[in-house]
Amino acid sequence: MGVEVAVQGLSKSFGRTPIWRDVSLTLPAGEVSVLLGPSGTGKSVFLKCLIGLLKPERGSVVIDGTDLVHCRESTLYRLRRLFGVLFQDGALFGSMSVLDNVCFPLREHTRESESEVRRIAREKLELVGLGGAEDKLPGEISGGMRKRAGLARALVLEPEIILCDEPDSGLDPVRTAYLSQLLIDLNAQLDATILIVTHNITVARTVPDNLGMLFRRELVMFGPREVLLTSDEPVVAQFLNGRRFGPIGMSEEKDTATMAAEREQARAGHNDGASGEDVRGVAPQLEPTPGLPPRDAVRRRRERVMRMLPTLPDAARRSVLASFDTASATRTAETAPAHGVAGPAGGPNLGSPGEERWR
Ligand SMILES: Nc1ncnc2c1ncn2[C@@H]1O[C@H](COP(=O)(O)OP(=O)(O)O)[C@@H](O)[C@H]1O
Ligand SMILES: [Mg+2]
């Protein structure tokens, strides 16, 4: 199972330019999380701080009880082995075949025999659906296939934490949908902790268990997906709906006068550039492809979110309960006979009289 990553009070600047400050969030073990943010808000910088490639001035990143911001080089080296990273540009070597690219970390970091190296690399290529492309050069395959190759390479050292930097960048919506499904399928098969950084709204709506957003040099929110997806917070709602009206501007934030003028325009019925109706609310989360095991994370998350339920805003709480009800009903229907709706062993028992106390 993947490990938890606990980020506390993290701040990062370059010289006198602050990138973000006081970021605290926990990536729950084995769950999928998405960090949203407009371009240039420091998402890639955040990922680099998580794996110790950049050093934040303040705060901690604790994994397995060790803070990798303040540990020795040798410890950092060991902790880094827990991570598999899909970099934004794929970062493949152009002159090496896809297979050799995927073999590369094994040749660098392990003493496996050449036949074992190739066996493992081929296995990961199969896992990402690239079995037939091993002899191709990165330049000979599509952007979506390059992302998959980068992902296969990120998997060869059996990471417990997988970081994906804009896995959707440069992909069309269909390729993005396939990649989203692949990430959910990998989570079901590997049970690794996954963090995806993106500004893609569809990915944010359909993939993660947890969702957060970086804006104005701060983490606006981070929590169960329902919290952001039902949020009235202006930046969050603007971003999730791809609207022009709101605090996010062309270059950076807008001043209050501009915002007031826009509100006037909106009242007058001026089109604000959104793709259509606001898509408020919580879209169904992707499920593993039929035939794959269910995601263990779903069961663990359910217990975790039930414990934090009293602390959630009303709309998020209602949405969480509705999704658990649906899941229970589906499960009950599948595993008749149905008497009451039992949660997982030791978990909350939705549908029982006890349900009232969460409302
Ligand atoms: N190594 C670096 N040195 C100085 N500035 C950097 C460095 N890396 C990133 N930045 C700056 O940090 C800001 C955030 O960058 P980045 O994390 O790439 O944003 P995002 O991934 O959200 O688009 C940008 O203004 C960028 O120029
Ligand atoms: Mg980036």
pLDDT in tens, 248-277: 665 555 555 555 565 565 555 555 544 444
Answer yes or no: is pLDDT of 243 > 90. Answer: no
Whether residue 188 sits in one domain with residue 54: yes
Picking from 198, 229, 260, the residue at the C-terminal end of a domain is 229
- Give residue 250's pLDDT: 58
* Cα–Cα distance, 106 to 275 (Å, whole number): 45
Whether residue 318 sits in one domain with residue 225: no
* Centre of ligand 2 from the C-alpha of residue 89, in Å: 10
What domain range includes position 345? 296-358
Whether residue 225 sits in one domain with residue 306: no
- Give residue 162's pLDDT: 97
* Centre of ligand 2 from the C-alpha of residue 163, in Å: 12
Q: Which residues contact 63 (CB under 8 A, 6 or more apart)?
A: 3, 4, 5, 6, 79, 82, 161
| Mean pLDDT of the region 108-119 | 94
* Centre of ligand 2 from the C-alpha of residue 168, in Å: 12
Nearest alpha carbon, ligand 1 atom 18 = 44
Terminal-to-terminal C-alpha distance of the chain? 32
Whether residue 164 sits in one domain with residue 303: no
Whether residue 88 sits in one domain with residue 174: yes
Answer yes or no: is pLDDT of 356 > 50. Answer: no
CATH code where residue 110 lies: 3.40.50.300
Mutational test site, ligand 1, from 16, 19, 47, max ligand atoms within 8 Å of CB: 19
Answer yes or no: is pLDDT of 90 > 60. Answer: yes
Residue 7 DSSP SS3: strand
User: In this prediction, what percent of the chain has a pLDDT beyond 90?
Assistant: 65
Picking from 229, 248, 277, the residue at the C-terminal end of a domain is 229
Mutational test site, ligand 1, from 14, 36, 213, 215, max ligand atoms within 8 Å of CB: 14
* Centre of ligand 1 from the C-alpha of residue 39, in Å: 9
* Residue 225 belongs to a domain: yes
Answer yes or no: is pLDDT of 92 > 60. Answer: yes
Whether residue 165 sits in one domain with residue 77: yes
- Give residue 91's pLDDT: 82
| Mean pLDDT of the region 12-31 | 96
pLDDT in tens, 277-305: 455 578 899 999 999 999 999 999 999 99
Whether residue 159 sits in one domain with residue 29: yes
Mutational test site, ligand 1, from 20, 21, 35, 45, max ligand atoms within 8 Å of CB: 45
- Give residue 330's pLDDT: 65
Whether residue 181 sits in one domain with residue 54: yes
- Give residue 283's pLDDT: 86
- Give residue 236's pLDDT: 83
| Ligand 1 atom at minimum distance from 165 CA | 21
pLDDT in tens, 202-216: 999 999 999 999 998
Main-chain dihedrals φ then ψ at residue 154, nearest 5 degrees? -65, -20
Nearest alpha carbon, ligand 1 atom 12 = 42
* Centre of ligand 1 from the C-alpha of residue 229, in Å: 27
* Residue 314 belongs to a domain: yes
Q: How many domains does the chain have?
A: 2
More confident residue, 344 or 159: 159
pTM of the complete model: 0.85
* Residue 164 belongs to a domain: yes
Whether residue 317 sits in one domain with residue 221: no
Mean pLDDT of the chain: 85
- Give residue 193's pLDDT: 98
Nearest alpha carbon, ligand 1 atom 6 = 14
Answer yes or no: is pLDDT of 68 > 60. Answer: yes
- Give residue 11's pLDDT: 97
Q: Which residues contact 127 (CB under 8 A, 6 or more apart)?
A: 152, 155, 186, 189
Answer yes or no: is pLDDT of 74 > 50. Answer: yes
Whether residue 114 sits in one domain with residue 32: yes
Q: CB-hemisphere CA count at 13 Å for 347?
A: 18
Q: Which residues line ligand 1 (CB under 6 A)?
A: 14, 19, 37, 39-45
